[in-house]
A = this chain, B = another copy of it.
Amino acid sequence: MTAKSQKHWTGDPADLLRVGQGFRLADVDPDAKPGYTKGKKRGAEDLSAGADELDELQERLYAQSRVDDGSPAVLLVLQGMDTAGKGGIVRHVIGAVDPQGVSLAAFKKPTPEELAHDFLWRVEKHVPQPGFIGVFDRSHYEDVLIGRVRHLADDAEIERRYGAINAFEKGLVDRGIRIVKVMLHISSDEQKARLAERLDRPDKYWKYNPADVDERALWPQYMDAYQTVFDRTSTPDAPWFVVPADRKWYARLAVQALLLDALEDIDPQWPAADFDVAVEKARLAAS
């Protein structure tokens, strides 16, 4: 972590937020800001500086893929309870880079056609192409989260899915896709406040769904289902990161830092010319 946008971090966010052995979700404070010493105002400045870095790294990633078919991609998987801030990450972190290099997929309630296939069928179709930053707003993990909590499949099928997910993600990593899996972790109280705001503002009514309150009643079951997800699917190839998200500005900065970390690790390079520059200059001048 040497990038200038990250000078206020006391440690590598990837190390501080990664789900490792013995991780307990219940021990994470959603209001914390691990590794970041400054406040909201400095956070906004750092987010802006980081956006410029992300923008250049994304362009390099894309450029490299234009001349190399086996070029890497990045896949950001965003999970979290309702109002956790997934949309804000897309808007404020991903929104800072060129839309031409981003592929975004929002996974809603599966359609009948999707349900007729294996749960990974609809997901595979949205895996980012080489050179792209793919973003999953919800993902195949819904099938072991709401799927488990609401018993949308039998126990044996739910069990099968953890292994299927690991095999699927291993396949992506082997194809050169760097996976960044993020759970935005908010508290139940913070969710309550955010839902209340949607009920207070007529320009936010459309974001409110009465079913959200029904899901709140199942909060402990959801936290258990997330813990199981972390226990079973936080692999060395595709680890989970739990990002405290009661402070939106911190969550955005942290996810940006995780993306910068992944991209700096890929270290994409401007491709060399696959033509003779002098010859082309002469042809152009004569045209």
User: Is A174 interfacial (CB-CB < 8 Å)?
Assistant: no
CB–CB A91/B100 < 8 A: yes
Given A91-B99, A208-B273: A284 touches B195 (CB 8 Å cut-off): yes
Q: Mark A188-209, 1 if CB is under 8 A from B, else 0.
A: 0000100110010011011110
Chain B residues with CB below 8 A from A90, complex form: 98-100
Chain A 76-113 per-residue mask, 1 if CB under 8 angstroms from chain B, else 0: 00000000000100110011001110101010000000
Q: Which of A19-27, A151-159, A274-282 contacts B (4 or more CB under 8 A)?
A: A274-282
A98 contact set on B, CB distance < 8 A: 87, 90-91, 95
Asked whether A217 and B104 contact (CB < 8 A) given A98-B90, A99-B91, the answer is: no
Chain B CB within 8 A of A121 CB = no
Given known A99-B94, A99-B102, A100-B91, contact A283–B206 (CB-CB < 8 A): no
A206 CB contact (under 8 Å) in B207, B270, B281, B284: B270
Residues 205-221 of A contacting B (Cβ, < 8 Å): 205-208, 210, 213, 216-217
Cβ-based interface call for A37 (8 A) = no
Question: Residue A205 contacts which of B196, B270, B285 (CB distance < 8 angstroms)?
Answer: B270
Alpha-carbon gap, A95 to B95, bound state (A): 7
User: Which residue of B63, B95, B210, B280 is within 8 Å of A199 (Cβ)?
Assistant: B280
Q: How far is the CB of A92 from chain B (nearest CB, A)?
A: 9
A287 close to B (CB within 8 Å) = yes
Other-chain contact of A66, B94, B202, B206, B270 (Cβ < 8 Å): B206
A270 touches B100 (CB 8 A): no
- A77–B106 Cα distance when bound, in Å, is 24
How many Å lie between the Cα of A216 and that of B207 in the bound state?
Answer: 50
In the complex, are the beta carbons of B104 and A271 less than 8 A apart?
no
Nearest neighbor of A60 in chain B, beta-carbon distance: B203
Q: Are A213 and B95 in contact (CB under 8 A)?
A: no
Instruction: Enumerate chain A interface residues (CB-CB to B < 8 A).
Output: 63-64, 66-67, 87, 90-91, 94-95, 98-100, 102, 104, 106, 137, 192, 195-196, 199, 202-203, 205-208, 210, 213, 216-217, 270-273, 275, 277, 280-281, 283-285, 287
The 10 closest A-B pairs by CB, nearest first: A205-B273, A63-B206, A216-B287, A206-B271, A203-B270, A91-B98, A213-B283, A210-B275, A213-B287, A66-B206
